[in-house]
Structure 1
């Protein structure tokens, strides 16, 4: 099932043709689709060392090529400061037979994709998240500030999107409690100047081995933003005890901690309804995170846990 109404089709045969045509040095390598819960790109492993990423939705090819160039630069910048291995850009692909958009190739990292509950109780994993987030925050912003829209800027900029989410979630979640919580989140004051953030520390962008964090994926959004943005990882991946460990390890105050919960809330509200049928794993991530937020007395002010309606 398609996740997006205008989703592009790309399969192994198309990728083999594009590789042979544009990158003959890899023409003899195997091409394997990498199944996962990703929502932005289709991923194909090329041989053992690289992976090709194909955007799933159409757009202006020139604008996308420019965006992919910025992502490549951000990935390289992240790799220079990240204490955990992260992919780096290798090549840009052009539109070709069977696929109408620019695409990209990056290095492949081995590992098992994280899950909301798999390492929720692990102090080692929480410690690795502390190390990661601290290193990203210490990176130089170069005087830059948040320059996008949505997560990472003013919480109130998401009001229209949140209204859509509340409307679409009427039969899925306790919308009255969630709406009341957003009214508290949206007016939280700033917790400090923008700092460098990964921007999307969800389970699917983290690789693990045993109880350790071994890889950080999707680094193309590395840029200045609300310093609380990367705290979404605490709500997506950790139980209450380990969230406390992470908070103490990063010395997070109450406003910043609540803003981190607010960004996780904003993200999760969209996941539940949008991917309910097309990507159940992402939908369940949204439910899991909302449950954690609503069961945490400090950030929820006593709102009850959402029911898991079918």
Structure 2
């Protein structure tokens, strides 16, 4: 199934469709209850299936490759990581008018942490660093390139376009000259000269699960692959307060150039996200604003 097909639109994905897809593909689960899982994500929908499973379905064509990547790589990565990750239990296929592959996973309990409200920031910083370190240590052959994992300057045009868009939204109060200076400073840093490393490449709060403030799982590996290690520094600015940010950096032993590239990559994602999500997805817009403030904070 290619990603060129017509987007069915999220309104066509509902509990009835999920029940029909499950019943047609996996009759043994046909009588299990189905319930939508609230999520701030924009690429996939999730539905609880019984007590211990979840169905994940792309909402847009761009999510199809994510499904394929997770099916291929999660079973190989899981034994190598210190944190629980999604377990693919079954592979669904297009049916019932739904045009893309979908998957059934084991349910992982936990809540998404929220920027500005992290309960155990120091412990979380160390646990995130442990996960990132383990990802970097993976040596599985044949890895794909991580999404957004290439040279920093590959993001230059989209980042500058987003800055100009934000100049046209004065009510957001973004200091566009200041963020431009941060971006241009990072572009002057040397790029990553070592071998590409394994990355999750999308360590947003919505892709982390915590219990009591402690990391219990990392989810949504659709961007995984190899690339610049700066790509997995996102939690430093999108989640952790300044003192825990220092703990995260020390645990990873990050040099100045990589740290600055990581800050700029996180900033770029936030700048691009904010104009798009400000009227569509409050959680994503809120996190983007948090990132911009954190990056511009002298700490």
Shared fold (TM-score greater than 0.5)? yes
Contact 2:45–2:58 (CA<8 Å) still a contact in 1? yes
Partner of 1:155: 152
> Could you tell me how far apart the structure 1 residues matched to 2:271 and 2:284 are?
11
Counterpart-to-counterpart distance in 2, 1:147 and 1:196: 9
SS in 2 for 1:52: strand
Q: Secondary structure at the match of 1:228?
A: helix
Partner of 1:22: 25
Q: CA deviation at 1:99?
A: 2.2
| Equivalence for 2:215 | 213
Change (3 A) 1:74 1:158: same
TM-score when normalising by structure 1: 0.86
Deviation at 1:141, TM superposition (A): 4.8
SS in 2 for 1:77: helix
CA displacement at 1:122 relative to structure 2? 2.0
**Residues 222, 258 of structure 1: CA spacing in aligned structure 2 closer, same or farther, 3 A cutoff?**
same
Asked if structure 1 preserves the Cα contact closer than 8 Å seen for 2:210 and 2:216, the reply is yes
SS of aligned partner of 2:51: coil
User: C-alpha offsets along residues 126-155 of structure 1, whole Å, 9 cap, x if unaligned?
Assistant: 1111211111111115375x7356x21111
Distance in 1 between residues matched to 2:236 and 2:256, nearest whole Å: 14
What residue is the counterpart of 1:269 in the other structure? 271
How far apart, CA to CA, are the structure 2 residues paired with 1:292 and 1:73? 36
TM-score calculated relative to the size of structure 2? 0.89
Inter-partner Cα distance in structure 2 for 1:158 and 1:94 = 34
SS of the equivalent of 2:215 reads strand
The root-mean-square deviation of aligned C-alpha atoms, in Å, is 2.1
Distance 2:142 2:14 in 1: 42
SS of alignment partner, residue 90 of structure 2: strand
Residues 176-225 of structure 1: per-residue CA shift (max 9 Å, x gap): 22222222222321243311111111100110011210011012333211
Instruction: Report what 1:285 is aligned to.
Output: 287
Q: Deviations over 1:86-117 (max 9, x none)?
A: 11222222222242222222221011111112
Q: Describe how 1:95-244 pairs up with structure 2 within 5 A.
A: 95-119=94-118, 122-142=121-141, 147=145, 151-170=148-167, 171=169, 172=172, 173-191=174-192, 192-244=194-246
Task: List aligned pairs for 1:30-69, cutoff 5 A.
Answer: 30-58=33-61, 64=64, 68-69=67-68
Cα distance in 2 for partners of 1:33, 1:265 equals 31
Tell me, which stretches of 5 or more residues in structure 1 are unaligned?
298-310
Q: Distance in 2 between matches of 1:261 and 1:6?
A: 36
Match of 2:4 in 1: none
